[in-house]
Amino acid sequence: MSADPFAAPPAANGRAPDVFKRGGWVPMRQYGEDEAVDFAVVGTGAGGGPLICGLAEGGFSVVGFDAGPYFRPLEDFASDEREQDKLYWTDERVVDGANPITMGGKNSGKAVGGSTVHFAMVSLRFRPEWFKSRSALGYGADWPLNWREMWQYYTKAEKALSISGPLSYPWGPKRPRYPYRAHELNGAAELLARGAEAMGLKWTPTQLATVSAPHRKSPPCVYRGFCRFGCSTNAKQSQLVTFIPRALQAGAEIRDLAMVGRIEIGPDGRATGVHYHREGRWRFQKARNVAVAGYAIETPRLLLASATDKFPDGLANSSGLVGKNLMTQSNQAVFGTMAQEVRWNKGPPSLSITEHWNYDDGKDFAGGYCWMAQGPLPVEWVTIQTSSRGLWGQALRDEMEKYNHQVGLKMVGEMLPDECNRVTLADQKDQYGLRVARVTYSWGDNDKALIQHALGQMQTSLEAVGATNIFRQEDDTNHLAGTARMGDDPATSVVNADCRSWDIPNLWVCDGSVFPTTGGVNPSLTITGIAMRTADRIRILAARGEL
Least distance CB 528 / other proteins (angstroms) = 24
User: Contact at 8 Å (CB) between 267 and 256?
Assistant: no
Task: Give all strands (DSSP E) within 399-458, no chain letters.
Answer: 406-414, 422-429, 435-440
Which residues make up the interface to other proteins (CB under 8 A)? 1, 75-83, 85, 88-96, 100-105, 108, 184-187, 190-191, 221-226, 232-233, 338, 340-343, 345-347, 377-379, 381-383, 386-387, 390, 392-394, 396-397, 400-404, 438-439
Q: Round to whole Å and give the CA distance between 111 and 119.
A: 12
Dmax (CA) for the chain in angstroms is 70
Between 151 and 381, whose beta carbon lies closer to other proteins? Answer: 381
Least distance CB 540 / other proteins (angstroms) = 39
Between 343 and 453, whose beta carbon lies closer to other proteins? Answer: 343
3-state secondary structure of 134: helix
Between 377 and 497, whose beta carbon lies closer to other proteins? Answer: 377
Q: What is the DSSP letter of 373?
A: E
Between 82 and 363, whose beta carbon lies closer to other proteins? Answer: 82
Least distance CB 401 / other proteins (angstroms) = 6
- What's CA 466's distance to the chain center, in Å? 34
**Beta pairing, strands 477-481 & 327-330:** antiparallel
Taking 3-state DSSP, the helix, strand and coil percentages for the chain, each rounded to the nearest 5, stand at: 30, 20, 50
Least distance CB 388 / other proteins (angstroms) = 11
Least distance CB 399 / other proteins (angstroms) = 10
Between 216 and 397, whose beta carbon lies closer to other proteins? Answer: 397
Between 20 and 359, whose beta carbon lies closer to other proteins? Answer: 20
Indicate the burial class of 488 (C-beta count within 10 angstroms; 0-12, 13-18, 19 or more): exposed
Task: Give all strands (DSSP E) within 58-184, no chain letters.
Answer: 62-65, 94-96, 164-165, 180-181
Least distance CB 295 / other proteins (angstroms) = 13
Between 347 and 519, whose beta carbon lies closer to other proteins? Answer: 347
Between 152 and 469, whose beta carbon lies closer to other proteins? Answer: 469
Least distance CB 122 / other proteins (angstroms) = 18
Q: How far is CA 319 from CA 127, 437, 483, 490, 508, in A?
A: 28, 20, 12, 7, 15
Between 350 and 493, whose beta carbon lies closer to other proteins? Answer: 350
Cβ neighbours, 10 Å, residue 365: 17
- For the four alpha carbons of 183, 188, 190 and 192, in that order, the dihedral sign comes to negative
Angle between helices 524-543 and 147-160 (to 10 degrees): 110
Least distance CB 101 / other proteins (angstroms) = 7
Q: Round to whole Å and give the CA distance between 477 and 184.
A: 27
Least distance CB 482 / other proteins (angstroms) = 18
